[in-house]
Amino acid sequence: MGQRVPERAGRLGGRVGHAVFWVAIWTLALAGLLYLLLPTLIIVLASFTAGEYITFPPRGLSLRWFARLMALEEVRTSAWRSLIVATAATAVAVVLGVAAAFPLVRSRFAGREALNAFLMSPLILPSLVYGLAGLMFVSAIGVPLSVPVLVLSHVAIIVPYVIRTTAASLALLDPHLEEAARSLGANAWKTFLRVILPNLLPGIATGAAFAFISSFDNLTVSLFLAGPRVETLPIRLFAMINFDLDPAAAAISAVLVLITFAVVLLAHWAVGLTRVVRL
Amino acid sequence: MQTRRLSRREVLVGGTAVALTAAAPGRATAQAKELVANTYGGGWEAGHRAAIAQPLEKRGIKVTLVAMLAAELVARTKAAAGGRPPVDVALVDDGPFLLAIKEGVFQQLPMDRIPNAKRVYAKYRAKEPFGVPIGASQIGIAYNARTLKTRPESWADLWKPEYKGHIGLSTPASTLGTVTLLSFARLKGGNEGNVEPGFDAVKSLLPSVSSIQAVPANLRTLLERGEISIAPMWHHDTTIVKMKGTGVEFVLPKEGGIAGLAWLAITKGANTDLALEYLNQGLEPDSQKLMAGAPSYIGPVIEGVEVAPELRGIVPATPADLERLKTLDWPKINEQRAEWIARWNREIKV
Amino acid sequence: MDRPVESRDQSLSTSAARARQAVWSRQLRLWQLVLPATLFLLVYFVVPLGMLFYFSVRAPGVQGMTLLNFQKLLTDSFFLETLGLSVRLSLEVTAVALVLGFPLAYLYTRLGPAWRLTILFVTLLPLLTSAVVRSFAWIVILGKQGLINAALIGAGVVDTPVKLLFTLDGVRIALAQVQLPFMLLPLINAMERIDPSLEQAAVSLGASQSRAFFKVTVPLSAPGVVAGAILSFALTISAFITPAMVGGGSFTVIPTLIYQSAIVTLDWSTAATTALILLVVALAVVWGGMSLARRFRYGPESA
CATH of the domain at C99: 1.10.3720.10
Whether C105 and C212 map to the same domain: the answer is yes
Do the chains contact at B215 and C248, CB–CB below 8 Å? yes
Gap between the Cα atoms of C148 and C140, Å rounded: 10
Report, as an integer, the average pLDDT of C48-65. Answer: 85
What residues contact A184, with CB distance under 8 A and at least 6 apart?
none
Subunit partners of chain C (3 or more CB pairs within 8 A)? A, B
Residue C219 lies in a domain: yes
Q: What is the pLDDT of residues A25-84, one digit of tens each?
A: 999 999 999 999 999 999 999 899 887 778 777 888 889 889 888 888 888 989 999 999
Q: What is the number of CB-based contacts under 8 A between chain A and chain C?
A: 290
pLDDT per position as a tens digit, B12-47: 444 444 444 444 333 344 446 889 999 987 789 889
Question: Cβ distance B254 to B153 under 8 Å?
Answer: yes
Has residue A151 got a pLDDT over 90? yes
Amino acid letter, B139:
I
> Structurally, how many domains does chain C consist of?
2
Under a CB-based contact definition with an 8 Å cutoff, are residues A204 and A165 in contact? yes
Give a yes or no: residue C61 inside a domain.
no
Is the model's pLDDT at B212 over the cut of 90?
Answer: no
Residue C63 within any structural domain of the chain: no
Min Cα–Cα distance to chain B from A60, Å: 18
Q: Same structural domain for residues C80 and C224?
A: yes
The mean predicted confidence, pLDDT, of chain A is 86
Q: What is the pLDDT of residues B127-186, one digit of tens each?
A: 889 999 999 899 999 999 999 999 999 999 999 999 998 999 998 888 899 999 999 998
Instruction: Please check the confidence at residue B348 and state whether its pLDDT lies above 70.
Output: yes
DSSP B41: S
User: Inter-chain contact C32–B3, Cβ cutoff 8 Å?
Assistant: yes
> What's chain B's Rg over C-alpha atoms?
23
Is C216 in the same domain as C122? Answer: yes
Is C62 inside any structural domain?
no
- Whether chain A has a CB inside 8 Å of the CB on B174: the answer is no
- Distance between CA atoms of B261 and B236, rounded to whole angstroms? 12
Mutate to test the interface with C, among B68, B210, B345 (most CBs of C within 10 A): B345
* Secondary structure element (H or E) that encloses residue B91, with its range: strand B89-93
Out of C32, C144, C252, the one facing B225 most closely (by C-beta) is C144
| Same domain (yes/no): C11, C92 | no
Q: In the predicted model, is pLDDT for residue C220 greater than 70?
A: yes
Mean pLDDT across C62-73: 84
Q: Which of C106, C130, C142, C250 has the highest number of chain A CBs within 10 A, making it the mutation to test binding with A?
A: C130
Chain A residues with at least one Cβ partner in B under 8 Å: 52-53, 74, 77, 80-81, 84-85, 87-88, 91-92, 95-96, 99, 139, 142, 144, 146-148, 151, 188-189, 192, 227-231, 239-240, 242-245
* C298 against B297, higher pLDDT: B297
Task: Identify the closest residue of chain C to A162 by CA–CA distance.
Answer: C37
Q: Round to whole Å and give the CA distance between C211 and C222.
A: 16
Same domain, C146 and C211: yes
Cβ(A163)–Cβ(A101) below 8 Å = yes
pLDDT over threshold 50, residue C5: no
Asked whether the ipTM of the predicted complex exceeds the cut of 0.90, the reply is no
* Average pLDDT of the residues in C34-47: 88
Do C26 and B1 contact (CB within 8 A), yes or no?
A: no
Looking at the DSSP bridge assignments, the partners of residue B170 are B213
Contacts of C143 in chain B (CB under 8 A): 225, 227
C75 and C197, same structural domain? yes
Among candidates C29, C250, C264 on the partner chain, residue whose Cβ is nearest the Cβ of B3: C29
**Residue A57: is the preceding peptide bond cis (ω within 30°)?**
yes
Q: Is a pLDDT exceeding 90 seen at residue B349? A: no
In-domain check, residue C65: no
DSSP 8-state assignment for residue B140: E
Domain shared by C260 and C121, yes or no: yes
pLDDT exceeds 70 at position C159: yes
Q: What confidence score (pLDDT) does residue A11 get?
A: 56
- Distance to chain B for A56, nearest Cα, Å: 13
Provide the pLDDT for residue B30: 44
Please give the pLDDT value at position C99.
94
Query: Does the residue C64 lie in any domain?
Result: no
pLDDT one-digit tens code per residue, C16-37: 766 666 665 565 567 778 888 8
Q: Who has greater pLDDT, C264 or C134?
A: C134
Residues, chain A, total?
Answer: 279
- Other C-beta atoms lying within 10 Å of the C-beta of residue A188: 17
In this predicted structure, the answer to whether residue C6 has a pLDDT above a threshold of 90 is no
Pair C43, C164 in one domain: no
Instruction: Give the model's pLDDT for residue B11.
Output: 47
Indicate if C148 and C241 belong to the same structural domain.
yes
CA atoms of A193 and A199, how far apart (whole Å): 10
> DSSP readout, chain A?
--PPPP-HHHHHHHHHHHHHHHHHHHHHHHHHHHHHHHHHHHHHHHTTB-SSS--SS-SSB-SHHHHHHHH-HHHHHHHHHHHHHHHHHHHHHHHHHHHHHHHHHH---TTHHHHHHHHHGGGTS-HHHHHHHHHHHHHHTTPPP-HHHHHHHHHHHHHHHHHHHHHHHHHTS-HHHHHHHHHTT--HHHHIIIIIHHHHHHHHHHHHHHHHHHHHH--HHHHHHT-TTS--HHHHHHHHHHH---HHHHHHHHHHHHHHHHHHHHHHHHT-HHHHHT-
Evaluate if residue B192 carries a pLDDT over 90: no
Residue A58, pLDDT score: 82
- Those of residues 156-215 in A touching chain C at CB distance below 8 A are 156, 159, 163, 210, 213-214
State the pLDDT confidence band at B9, using cuts at 50, 70 and 90.
very low
Contact B210 C36 (CB under 8 A): no
Q: Which residues constitute the domain of residue C25?
A: 2-56
Give the chain B residue whose CA is nearest to the CA of C1: B1
Query: For residue range A42-56, what is the model confidence (pLDDT) as tens digits?
Result: 999 989 988 777 877
Number of Cβ within 10 Å of residue A264's Cβ equals 23
Residue C144 inside a domain? The answer is yes
B217/chain C closest Cα distance in angstroms: 10
The whole-number pLDDT of residue A188 equals 73
Question: Same domain for C41 and C129?
Answer: no
pTM listed for this prediction? 0.84
Same domain, C32 and C140: no
**Contact criterion met (CB below 8 Å) for C103 and A28:** yes
- Collect all residues with Cβ–Cβ distance below 8 Å to A47 and sequence separation of at least 6: A58, A65, A66, A247, A250, A251, A253, A254
Q: Distance between CA atoms of B1 and A188, rounded to whole angstroms?
A: 9
A-chain residues near C125 (CB < 8 A): 37, 40, 257, 260-261, 264
pLDDT reported for residue C164 = 87
* Under 8 Å between Cβ of B63 and B35: yes
Same-domain check for residues C78 and C180: yes
CB contact B229 to C (< 8 Å): no
The whole-chain average pLDDT of chain B stands at 84
The per-residue pLDDT for C91 is 94
Over residues A106-132, the mean pLDDT reads: 86
User: Is the confidence at residue B205, as pLDDT, over 90?
Assistant: yes
Question: Is C246 within 8 Å of C45 (Cβ atoms)?
Answer: no
* DSSP line for A97-108: HHHHHHHHHH--
Burial C24-39 (b: 16+ CB within 10 A, else e): eeeeebbebbbbbbbe
- Percent of chain A at pLDDT > 90 equals 40
Interface test with B, best of C78, C166, C168, C261 (most B CBs within 10 A): C166
